[in-house]
Amino acid sequence: MADTTRPSAALDDLVAASCSNGAPSARNLLVTVFGDALLPYGPATSASPLSLAELLDGFGVNERLVRTSLTRLVNDDLLAVDVEGRRSFYRVAVGALDVFARADSRIYGGAVVGEWDGSWTVVVIDGAEATADQRAALRQELSWAGFGTVAPNVMASPLTPPHAATTAIRHAGPFEQVLVTTAQVVDDQATLGPVELAERCAPLDGSRDGYEAFIARFRRFENLTGELDDARAFKLRILLVASFRRLVLADPLLPAELLPADWPGHEARRLAGSLYRSVAERAERHLLDHLEPSPGRRRSGVARRFV
CATH code, 135 = 3.30.70
pLDDT above 80: residue 110: no
Q: Which of 18-27, 43-52, 208-217, 284-293 has the lowest mean pLDDT?
A: 18-27
Report the pLDDT averaged over residues 221-229. 86
pLDDT above 90: residue 273: yes
151 and 299 co-located in one domain: no
3 state SS of 190 = coil
104 and 231 co-located in one domain: yes
3 state SS of 246 = helix
168 and 223 co-located in one domain: no
Q: Which of 166-175, 239-248, 293-302 has the lowest mean pLDDT?
A: 293-302
99 and 219 co-located in one domain: yes
Which among 295, 294, 286, 303 is positioned nearest to 57, based on CA atoms? 286
Percent of the chain whose predicted confidence (pLDDT) is above 70: 91
Question: Burial letters for 73-107: b for 16+ Cβ neighbours within 10 Å, e otherwise?
Answer: beeeebbbeeeeeeebbbbbbeebeebbebbbebb
Q: Residue 1: its pLDDT value, please? A: 40
Q: Residue 192: its pLDDT value, please? A: 83
50 and 20 co-located in one domain: yes
d(CA 238, CA 283): 9
Global pTM value: 0.86
15 and 94 co-located in one domain: yes
The residue range of the domain holding 168 is 119-184
- Find the length of the chain: 307
54 and 172 co-located in one domain: no
Residues 6+ apart with CB under 8 A from 65: 26
Residues 6+ apart with CB under 8 A from 196: none
137 and 166 co-located in one domain: yes
pLDDT digits (tens, 9 = 90+) for 86-102: 899 999 999 999 889 98
The total number of structural domains that make up the chain: 2
pLDDT digits (tens, 9 = 90+) for 33-58: 999 999 999 899 999 999 999 999 98
190 in a structural domain: no
106 and 224 co-located in one domain: yes
196 in a structural domain: no
149 in a structural domain: yes
Alpha-carbon distances, residue 34 vs 52, 91, 172, 210 (angstroms): 10, 7, 22, 24
pLDDT digits (tens, 9 = 90+) for 135-190: 899 999 898 888 999 998 999 999 889 998 998 898 887 788 899 999 999 887 77
pLDDT digits (tens, 9 = 90+) for 201-211: 888 888 999 99
Residues 6+ apart with CB under 8 A from 222: 271, 274, 275
